[in-house]
Structure formats: C-alpha cells, structure tokens
A and B are shown apart, each in its own frame.
Chain A
C-alpha cells in the first residue's frame, strides 16, 4: 500500500459504470517522512477521505474489486485508510 495525501479531485461525467456515484481523488505520494515524492495517482474513495488528509492507498486490482464487490471493475487504486501518524523506529 502507498502513503499519500489528498490534494485534489477529478470530475468525470463520461466513464465506466463502476465510477458512477464514486469519488475520484487526486493523491500525491508521500515518503516515510511525509514529504511528497513527486508522484501522484488517481484513486477511488472507499472511506470518505477529505482534502489534505494523509491516506493509505491500495494499488492492486483484485483487492480493489473485492472492496467494490464487482469482479469486472477496471480499478486498481482505492483509498482504504486515513492515517493519523507514521512513526519511524530508528535503527
């Protein structure tokens, strides 16, 4: 799974039926310190994540299809968690 921050959203009227009624969020990828890595992805919301929140994104298709309860969903990235804090244990 990927650590990311919700920085925007995508509005789409014409799309695959699986996107109907679902929110598409724009998320910038974060490193372990919470800094942007420069990458981003568009993820479908599964939990009601809001703007600016740090989230956990699942980037794997069969898990996404399981959440959507649709075995034909062309979706790979799902927001599956909202992160409070990331602690790094120094070694």
Chain B
C-alpha cells in the first residue's frame, strides 16, 4: 500500500457493467513526506468517502478488487482507507 492524494474525480461515459457502481478518483501518489512522487493514476474508491484533497492509501493488483463491494470486479488500483495523520519518527526516536 502507498500514500496518495485525491486530485480529482473521473466521470466515465461508458464502463464495463461490473464497474458501473464504482466511484473512480484521480490520485497523485505521494512519498512518505507527503510530496508528490510518480505519475497520477485512477483508483476505485473502496471507502466511497474520499474526495479531492483527501490523503488516502491505496492498494494495487488483484487486492484492489477486494477493497470494493461487490468485490469480484475488474479493478487494479483501489483506495482502502483515508489518512488522518502520517507519523514519521524522528531520528532520535528511531535510534532509541
């Protein structure tokens, strides 16, 4: 799983039937400091509660489909949860 920020929504004109009820969001992957890192991608929203600006974590490959309900859907990136806080331990904390 990786961090990402929702930067928009995707409104499809036509989709395979299995995906017709799935919200699709445009997500910018982030590094662990919260800086943009990598190419944006489209994630299905398993929480159905994410929106633009929200920091999320997402899973890729077959596990993405399992984040959705119904789960037997053709999806390869999906949001699993919304992030309240990312805590990066300080060097002192890591040494102790």
Contact = CB atoms under 8 A, between A and B. Distances in A.
A16 B3 CA distance: 15
Contact of A74 (B3, B78, B85): B78
Interface in B40-96: 46-47, 49, 57, 59-67, 71, 78, 80-89, 93-96
Contacts, number: 100
Interface size, A (range): 20 to 34
Contact of B63 (A5, A13, A28, A74): A74
B3 A42 contact: yes
B2 interface: yes
Given A52-B96, A74-B63, A75-B59, A43 B80 contact: no
A51 B63 contact: no
A72 to B, nearest CB: 5
B32 A61 contact: no
B82 A13 contact: yes
Given A28-B32, A61-B62, A74 B46 contact: yes
A76 B66 CA distance: 11
B31 interface: yes
A6 B17 CA distance: 41
A28 B94 CA distance: 12
Interface in A5-26: 5-16, 19, 24, 26
B95 A12 contact: no
21 contacts: A11-B85, A11-B87, A13-B82, A14-B47, A15-B47, A15-B82, A16-B80, A19-B81, A26-B32, A26-B87, A40-B2, A40-B31, A40-B32, A51-B89, A52-B89, A73-B63, A73-B66, A74-B63, A74-B65, A74-B67, A75-B63
B88 A8 contact: yes
